[in-house]
Structure 1
Amino acid sequence: MYIGEFILWLSSAIKPETRKKLKKDYSDNSMKLSEVAKDYTTESVSHNPRPIGPYYAYNDRYLEIRGGMLENFRGIITWISLAIFFIPYSSGDLGLNILLKLYHHERGNVASGIFAIIFFLIIFLVSTYLCIRYFRYVCRLELFTLRHIRVRFNRVTRQVYVQRPKYCGGIAVFKWEHIMPANFGETGSDMGGTNVVNLFTFHPYKTGFPVAQSVGVGKNTYNPQDYKDEWEFIRRYMEDGPKNLPKPRLSTHLPMPFHGVEGHISPMIHLAKNNPSVIMILMLIPVFLILLPFYTMGYFISECLCWQPRWPKVIRQAGIPGKPLPKETTLSDYPPEVQKAILDNSQEWGVIDDETGELIDYGQFKRPKKKASRKRKTKATKQAEKPIKENSED
């Protein structure tokens, strides 16, 4: 479920040592100045604004929509996690049953019983350690975490709030004017037929944050016009208000068995429409009868084993007269080691001048070097500054 967000945040906050171990080179995500400097909130891209959703809140102050890039695959990691969790559970249960039988003298061969207890105890301890030490980083992508990523657009404060787990970047606050639709741009190229959600990006050229942050909202779709229609709905809401817009149907935060059906059945319908052959239909029958219930049940279990947290108080009250404005996310909001990693990865996000084709220095590439140069200067002038201080004291 959070694989996309985790990979994006890992690539933005990966440490240099980890980058070397993974043999991951620095990528080139440079964009043209005309693309990043443009204000996308003022230009209409559709004559048919539609709230595709799912939406969780909609009023005069804010609207809230579900985020997440791979919600349609939710349930796969859940089943894998439950299968792995079954190893320590079953080994512990078998060992305990044998111990109770020996205690109640219900088992004749004591030596074989003790050997079995030791064997199952070793499996239990080793599998439990591996789950706690390593596999928890995998299972938390769908279990024992936030039930959904939520994105709130507040038209009073003109801010965008993104609620994510801490290992995916945590809660972030951006200015509305800094948002950039990523599924369609100035060139007119659309991500048709890709079955992805509506992607929005906050580029460092606008935000001042060293790296770009992205968030996906709404449902997966094969229709490129859906991206524009829903973006237009959000844009008009933020710019003009909800007066002349269709009111979206609100979804519940609670787990529901049917939540996972649509995300898995839409690709099947798309395949059937584009390949209306007998072979394709015969292939989809076992998928519909076996895999669809399998994925849907995994989706429901994942929802049940997650929780829906509240927004921080400052975000809940944002836009109410007399209440403070939430602070925009900055580099100082993260721990020192994460700050260093983010600054190291800032060099990936460049801006190219449209006319010269050269990179524009907008303060993102020289931050680490400036800090280092100040340190070198301090060491070099330490002896020279000392006698000056002594003379001034005299």
Structure 2
Amino acid sequence: MYFVEWLTWLAYIDPKEERDAFEKQHKKVKRKALYESDDLEMLESAKKPACNTPKSRGPVYLYNEHILEMRCGMWEAKRGLISLISATIIYTIAAFLFIAIKSLALLIKIAQNNYEEPYGSRLFIALFAIAIVLLISLPYLKYGLRITRLEMFTSRHLLIRFNRTTQQVYLHRPTYCGGIVTLPWHGVTSSHSDKKYAAAGSLGLPLDLMWQPSYAGALHPELVHVGKAANNYTEQQAEWEFIRRFMDEGPEGLPRPRITSHFPWPWQAFTPQFEGLTRYFRTSSRITKLGLVRADNQGLPWLSIDQRLKIRLFGTPKPPISG
């Protein structure tokens, strides 16, 4: 699903005046200054071992001596809503279009055979159906189709490829989400390289990787999420250590990950919704399990999309106090 990446890219290319006005109106996140010394410290930490048990939970699509290709994206568990809404709109357009065509066919038949039966009701139904089709389809084709494309009629996964031969990382994204980006491995940082960098509330999210603007070659940082949502910090550290060792030391000594096919199997649209909930499902009742899936789909209601991007840069916002 490309929805978060699409919104992030739109935020990157917004004019500076609009971004400044937005930040002035939304002063909910207390920014923490990020100094050059902090960047260097995180870069040095990213070169050190994070744990002794490297392991990738996947999905891994390609793995050999030179290449490691994994799933990349933040909101895999939120896939399906755009498709459901889009399918409803498309079905409505198709249904009224069918009614309009059927009514017009009957009107043509009446005109050709000189029947004396009344045709006023048929004409009204045909005109009404055509009006509904135009009223829905024109705005949808102009504004809604590009949002539908974020999930439907396209690949359902973003990809990230680590090439240890060239020491480059490639983010495979559609052109309307920024396109393919090439980043240097030596400029990567992660909040899971050391516990002191871990952001509060990061459990239930995949491993995060980040490149500062000076390494990203742009005026904005590159923040990506790799692999499955984690059940605990240990899983996130193990995932990071697996990637770090592959790029810095090679695949020797690493446990071979299970290879996932690129073929879009139907269950791949549902399994991500259960990632990050394994520890709860083992001991919970059936009613609790249903509640956990619902809570996972809702995420953090008080945390906006742009704030999620700022967590890694400026710290974690506090939830609003109710009552």
Shorter-chain TM-score bucket reads 0.7 to 0.9
Matched, 1:124 2:133: yes
Q: Which moved more, 1:185-194 or 1:248-257?
A: 185-194
Counterparts of residues 189-208 of structure 1 (less than 5 Å) = 189=198, 191=200, 194-208=203-217
Q: CA deviation at 1:77?
A: 1.2
Counterparts of residues 90-169 of structure 1 (less than 5 Å) = 90-105=95-110, 108-169=117-178
Which residue of 1 is the match for residue 320 of structure 2? none
Counterparts of residues 1-394 of structure 1 (less than 5 Å) = 1-16=1-16, 18-19=18-19, 23-25=22-24, 28=31, 30-37=33-40, 38-105=43-110, 108-183=117-192, 185=194, 187-189=196-198, 191=200, 194-266=203-275, 269-272=278-281, 276=284, 281-282=286-287, 284=289
Q: CA deviation at 1:175?
A: 0.5
Q: CA deviation at 1:138?
A: 2.0
Q: CA deviation at 1:127?
A: 1.1
Q: CA deviation at 1:46?
A: 0.9
C-alpha separation in 2, matches of 1:115 and 1:206: 63
Residues 164-186 of structure 1: per-residue CA shift (max 9 Å, x gap): 11222110001000111135556
**Structure 2 contact 168–185 (Cα < 8 Å) conserved:** yes
Q: CA deviation at 1:66?
A: 0.7
C-alpha separation in 2, matches of 1:119 and 1:217: 49
Cα 1:94–1:282 change in 2 (3 A) is same
Residues 141-187 of structure 1: per-residue CA shift (max 9 Å, x gap): 21123331110000000000000112221100010001111355562
**Structure 1 contact 151–161 (Cα < 8 Å) conserved:** yes
Cα 1:184–1:83 change in 2 (3 A) is farther
3-state SS of 2:227 partner: strand
Cα 1:268–1:112 change in 2 (3 A) is farther
> For this pair of structures, how many residues does the alignment match?
288
C-alpha separation in 2, matches of 1:286 and 1:223: 20
Q: Which amino acid aligns with 2:65?
A: D
**Structure 1 contact 162–171 (Cα < 8 Å) conserved:** yes
3-state SS of 2:6 partner: helix
3-state SS of 2:182 partner: strand
C-alpha separation in 1, matches of 2:193 and 2:95: 51
Cα 1:96–1:152 change in 2 (3 A) is same
Compute the TM-score of the two structures, normalised by the length of structure 2.
0.79
Q: CA deviation at 1:217?
A: 0.9
Runs of 5+ unmatched residues, structure 1:
296-347, 353-394
C-alpha separation in 1, matches of 2:232 and 2:121: 64
Cα 1:33–1:247 change in 2 (3 A) is same
Q: CA deviation at 1:33?
A: 2.1
C-alpha separation in 1, matches of 2:138 and 2:199: 47
Q: CA RMSD in A?
A: 3.0
Q: Which amino acid aligns with 1:68?
A: G
Residues 205-241 of structure 1: per-residue CA shift (max 9 Å, x gap): 3344211011111001221111110111111111111
**Structure 1 contact 95–116 (Cα < 8 Å) conserved:** yes
C-alpha separation in 1, matches of 2:235 and 2:245: 15
Cα 1:65–1:231 change in 2 (3 A) is same
3-state SS of 2:253 partner: coil
Cα 1:130–1:99 change in 2 (3 A) is same
**Structure 2 contact 191–198 (Cα < 8 Å) conserved:** no
Q: CA deviation at 1:42?
A: 1.9
Which residue of 2 is the match for residue 315 of structure 1? none
**Structure 2 contact 46–193 (Cα < 8 Å) conserved:** no
C-alpha separation in 2, matches of 1:123 and 1:224: 52
Percentage of pairs with the same residue: 28
Q: CA deviation at 1:258?
A: 1.9
